[in-house]
Amino acid sequence: MSFPITRHRRLRSSAGIRGMVRETVLNPLDLIQPIFVTYGNGIKNEIGSMPGVYHFSLDTLKEEVDEIVSLGIPAVLLFGIPETKDAVGSSGFDEYGIVQEATRLIKQWYPELLVIADTCLCEFTDHGHCGMVHTHTVDGVVHGDVLNDASLELLTRTAVSQAKAGADIIAPSNMMDGFVQAIRAGLDEAGFQHVPIMSYSVKYASAFYGPFREAADSAPQFGDRKTYQMDPANVREAIREAESDVLEGADMLMVKPALAYMDVIRVIREQFDLPLVAYNVSGEYSMVKAAARQGWINEKAIVLELLTGLKRAGADTIITYHAKDAVRWLRGE
């Protein structure tokens, strides 16, 4: 055998050496835990398609938040399921809406825990779309057009109400054109210049959202969201979407979903220097859980590999339903 010979395996020969040269490190501070809050009392109901994830009423919420804080997870993302819905999603911007009330409680219990408010209307509208809709019927079938500019006012009202309740970060997920600029202007005018916007900048019309729509009771009652969420085939469009949000004043960018879009995460990371969030969505979570329950995969190994892969692709922060388990596994528990 001729010399020299390259022996890459030297740097893999022991756990100590592998740890020393590891390029990507997953940390509990990288993770955000979503929470679903709902009306009523005494509710802690597991979501059928998302094992280990629950609906919490306000009186059962503290146990969940206590656990999140004890694990050192720095932030939660709040989704609300209201008692009533209407055509404009008024429960979403109600001063005493479910997300607003949950925010006040969490900030009272743990002022240092970051509360991120998802700013959308789909959970609060009776039609399940992310903004105002003009409907018409053709041959007995209901059709609807989501009204972009009219929706911005309602989304801005929602964001301001969430900030007033104490939300640390506003996370608009509606994908209306101009939503970052409208919300930024509304927050500034209301005196919340200090509240950052974590924009769902690159949000695809994905099949991976199915379990979430059960959890949030937010499935569209007609049509789909392909006229405002992105085509999964496109990546150059993702750059245009993110660039618009940067110019409009976004403080953080997001790619959603994550697992099938690591190439998009990498592209956005290379194009922009704002903090980048990846949303490891419900369908990605549920597939892992289902396979693990069948004994087909090692759940711990799969989850830690998946989350490390998202960081390696360029995400600074990861929203994931695996957050609590991941922290325990990182601790060696």
Provide the annotated active-site residues. Answer: 203, 256
Bind-site residues for Mg(2+): 241
Bind-site residues: 120, 122, 130, 213, 225, 241, 282, 321
Contacts for 241-244 with beta carbons within 8 Å, 24 or more apart?
241/201, 241/202, 242/201, 242/202, 242/268, 242/271, 242/272, 243/271, 243/272, 244/177, 244/180
d(CA 260, CA 250): 24
Bind-site residues for 5-aminolevulinate: 213, 225, 282, 321
Question: 139: alpha, beta or left, given left = phi > 0 and alpha = psi -120 to 50?
Answer: left
Cβ atoms of 115 and 133 closer than 8 Å: no
**Contact partners, residue 264, CB within 8 Å, separation at least 6:** 202, 235, 238, 255
d(CA 3, CA 176): 61
Comparing C-alpha atoms, which of 221, 219, 217 is closest to residue 81? 217
d(CA 325, CA 26): 13
Bind-site residues for Zn(2+): 120, 122, 130
